[in-house]
Amino acid sequence: MTDFSRTLSLLRKEKKISQKRAADALGVSQALLSHYENGVREPGLSFVVNAANYYRVSLDYLLGRTMHRGGMIISEDDMSDISREKENLLSTDESADLNKKLLLNSTAMLYDILSGSGDDVSIGNATKYLCAAYYKVFRLISLKDKGFMQEAFSIPEEYFSELFDAKMKKYEFRLRADTSPDARYDVSIEKLQNDYPQMAPALFSVLHSISEEVKKEAE
């Protein structure tokens, strides 16, 4: 099933209407709409445009090019860079700048959501998970520097990667199981767009790009 067919089906179910009702509104037979939703046939441009108008989403969202329903596809110039605010200056080359902005803005947004929920347990577990990931990345990069003293790290090179994989799985389990019972989360796409108009596109871009990569490798 393609991104288009999957999204088309999900939008109809989200709208809580039958396939027949949607087909009538879109000017096609129920059988043809079923083929579109199941990826058996590919629609023409006119149907795609009609579907986007009917479900009130952008063509880019319907075609799986963005997670932003309004069609925002993020570019480097569109994003604020929190690393350059006040005295917090970081220098990177142009090739790394976009990814840096994506992750910094996504992380800032994540912690604001966690803080607003009152879920101190998840804040701690999320922090430990991310710290473990940062450690792994820095340690793996340090292995490429022949002049770096690996003995400066207390955990031996031979098994640090596997050890941190296990620690990250532990924190992942805790994030699933130890969420505070009184915590309240509302992370619908619409709410995130409204609450974080500048940072949400960064998060959507991160989620979309990594999910597409994982999906392609799984196919």
**pLDDT tens digit string along 15-65?**
889 999 999 999 999 999 999 999 899 898 889 989 988 988 888 878 877
- pTM for the full predicted model: 0.59
Q: Considering just the CA atoms, what is the radius of gyration of the chain in Å?
A: 22
**pLDDT tens digit string along 152-207?**
778 888 899 999 999 999 999 988 887 666 777 788 888 888 888 878 888 888 88
| Nearest Cα to Cα of residue 176 among 113, 129, 110 | 129
Is residue 95 predicted with pLDDT exceeding 70?
A: no
| 136, 163 contact by CB (below 8 A) | no
Question: CATH: 1.10.260.40, 1.10.150.120, 3.40.50.720, 3.30.2080.10. Which one for 3-62?
Answer: 1.10.260.40
Place of tokens 């023409």: 44
Q: Report the 10 Å Cβ neighbour count for 15.
A: 13
Alpha-carbon distance of 144 to 182, in angstroms, equals 46
Residue boundaries of the structural domains of the chain: 3-62, 82-218
